[in-house]
Structure 1
């Protein structure tokens, strides 16, 4: 990890950082313990495990060459205990104390001069439960990499075949010259192919941009955040799939479309004016070799048909949109904007990324990402994980972002909202359950 260069996409996430748009991912995991929670023992355990993970030991080191470039360097004074804290909830004044506390904690930006992560152990939950809060900057890794880091903090799972993040150093990124010297003709051909690919993505981005007033749910940036936790049953989603077809992701997107439709109507907006547009990130680790530890992402732009009243019609519309994206491939279309960002020199990001980020509502209204978890039981110090809600960074001028994780028999959905735009996140989380119930009502 030490000495590894940040990719241009990694640098872009750093450049988008501001007090109102912190670019870290988050997670809230809830565990049920069989004995009284001992915060000191858990903190010591997490400290020891964090010390073994190379990605948690490094900080950003900016360089003059290439212009705007940066690399990861070991923090000489690294002490994981300084990144891990404890908090005991008070349940006196808030309807959902964990969500309210986690929202305030997650809203605080990370210190970019230090290793880009923090953990908080939260006690005071009902029974013998506790929560682990994590924030990890998007410059450090993508969602798949974040899961690998999190697994390194949890108990070992013999059934899970994995090379620990603590034991494996990601391959060092090679320079353009290195690649050309290895096989100049093949590399030149590949470079020209990627140039044509990039030009196609850029053209698609320009064609997909929408005129003012852009997004119907765009809002002013704010430091305030609201978090919503909601869970749906995987068996219910499978039932909808068996009747109406589509993938699990299609069904969840249709459920979210129905929830957003209800939420917009309750806010006095007119969903009938047309669909919302979601950026759905897609991992390209397999395509790119997967050995690198930073961001290896593309994406799809897909319509969330909030204008349709019938839940089955919404699902069919989502299926058509996602099928078109999959047929085109993960490196074509405006949704592949992250691929294009990964090919732009880092110095350009230093100059233009903040402006480009502010223009996000021209292309999409929300981000809906799926964070993969292993299909096995996970534990921390023997305590079984019951829920895990992931959270995606909120893009500039966006009202809400959505992250999804399937774990065991449930699908956990984390909603992060601009607190000034979405004062009552509970109405949106409730709408998710009602939207799924509408779909289930169409199943014989």
Structure 2
């Protein structure tokens, strides 16, 4: 057998170094799952007696998971010397372990839903099972229900998570007979996990491929030097932003979370951004600065020239790349907080991000560096805040026959970063979830007011 044939064989689906870094962060006591919160029309989910059709919904999800096989796979940790963890079909997969229900406590309003979601979303996912979970939350006012979807970051980043979970949703409405459309999926066969000798052979092949890539890089010194220089420049751009200021927003995060939701009209926000030669992210960062301005003013922490550092997630996926795993980089954007003129703040932020887009974002690379970052995150001084901004479905989708009225993404706070924004556009609406450490930010409502007021200004100033 030739070396080329040996290298070309496929082995198990291993976790990438970036996927593994999410598990390392979780090993430090920080749950690393992302979540989505959907508000639904409850009618199609209920039987004639008004009870949740839980078994029907579980059956629907069970069928649809065959469209996204990763949802039926669990992590397998091989013995030392057999390579990194890999995905394998779970022979004991049981959808009832993943799809659960809970009644929203009185007064059954949005605040009650968010408090319940914060509670349900906090525990880490069980690594012995497929790394996802769905909670159906019933009893909301206004004939609505909520759907909390939890998915481990090792499975997918934000964009890949949408592709992975799309199998559970429909873009069409209910069938004519008033029942949700049923699509029978071919379950296929459960593939057995590879044996140790197969894992050893695959691990040897992976190492040979690494050697081959290294040899190829040596054969192209100019290209290799340019790639290395680009990576170093991306890291240097993060370092050049300087140390993050010491503010009360940065302290080791605890176990409890607070969630707030803020909404805006996407078309009006986008029109205002274009009118002022800015991007949507620039407007979001400006609104972020206003929320922090009001919060820190209430805490007596505003100082002249204060600029907070925001870690903004940047997708590294091409237009045709919808695969699983993580392809994400970061840019650290300084946002002025003490500048009273919000338009001046927008101009400064847009100027900064325009310059940053000329360079590739920083992508944490190398297992040694990632291990160091996982340990250093509780006392890091590079960033103060987190933000993620994702495009969602442009038109309404349905879940088991029920229309999804609103859809939000819920991110994480971790290390010593106690406040984050998770943004998702859905059906013409800009949906923002504020995620805060409850103990570090008991006054997070002040931040929410500032954020809402800034977005309202952008809406109000847009000429119809």
Note whether the superposition's TM-score is higher than 0.5.
yes
Q: Under a length normalisation based on structure 1, what TM-score does the superposition of the two structures give?
A: 0.84
- Coordinate RMSD, CA, aligned: 3.2
Q: What is the aligned partner in structure 1 of residue 279 from structure 2?
A: 247
Q: Aligned pair 1:13/2:27, yes or no?
A: no
For residues 310-330 of structure 1, the C-alpha deviation after alignment (integer angstroms, 9 at most, x for no partner) is: 110111111011101111233
Q: Describe the SS at the equivalent of 2:442.
A: coil
Cα contact 1:2–1:72 (8 A) shared by 2: no
The aligned runs of 1:279-428 (5 Å cut-off) are: 279-286=311-318, 290=321, 292-330=323-361, 336=362, 339-341=363-365, 344-345=366-367, 349=370, 351-360=371-380, 362-428=381-447
Question: Distance in 1 between the 2:57 and 2:303 partners?
Answer: 47
Q: Describe the SS at the equivalent of 2:377.
A: helix
Question: Distance in 1 between the 2:28 and 2:11 partners?
Answer: 28
Deviation at 1:381, TM superposition (A): 2.1
Q: Aligned pair 1:39/2:70, yes or no?
A: no
Q: Under a length normalisation based on structure 2, what TM-score does the superposition of the two structures give?
A: 0.81
Question: Distance in 2 between the 1:244 and 1:125 partners?
Answer: 40
Q: What is the aligned partner in structure 1 of residue 243 from structure 2?
A: 210
Evaluate the alpha carbon distance shift between residue 69 and residue 431 of structure 1 in structure 2; reply closer, same or farther with a 3 A threshold: same
Deviation at 1:176, TM superposition (A): 6.2
Match of 1:270 among 302, 320, 338: 302
Match of 1:225 among 257, 260, 265: 257
Deviation at 1:18, TM superposition (A): 4.7
Deviation at 1:240, TM superposition (A): 2.0
Q: Of the two, which has the highest radius of gyration?
A: 2
Deviation at 1:402, TM superposition (A): 0.9
Deviation at 1:255, TM superposition (A): 1.5
In structure 2, runs of 5+ residues without a counterpart are: 1-9, 47-51, 174-184, 189-201
Deviation at 1:60, TM superposition (A): 2.1
For residues 158-216 of structure 1, the C-alpha deviation after alignment (integer angstroms, 9 at most, x for no partner) is: 9xxxxx9x99xxxx9994633765996478535554444334444445554527x6455
Question: Distance in 2 between the 1:117 and 1:147 partners?
Answer: 13
Match of 1:151 among 162, 166, 169: 166
Range 40-49 or range 320-329, more displaced:
40-49
Question: Distance in 2 between the 1:8 and 1:31 partners?
Answer: 37
Q: Aligned pair 1:105/2:120, yes or no?
A: yes
* Total equivalences in the alignment: 420
Q: Describe the SS at the equivalent of 2:391.
A: coil
Question: Distance in 1 between the 2:166 and 2:284 partners?
Answer: 25
Deviation at 1:359, TM superposition (A): 4.0
The aligned runs of 1:17-166 (5 Å cut-off) are: 17-18=26-27, 20-35=29-44, 37=46, 38-40=52-54, 41-63=56-78, 69-92=84-107, 96-157=111-172
Deviation at 1:22, TM superposition (A): 0.9
Q: Describe the SS at the equivalent of 2:125.
A: coil
In structure 1, runs of 5+ residues without a counterpart are: 159-163, 331-335
Cα contact 1:43–1:121 (8 A) shared by 2: no
Cα contact 1:2–1:74 (8 A) shared by 2: no
Question: Distance in 2 between the 1:183 and 1:217 partners?
Answer: 43
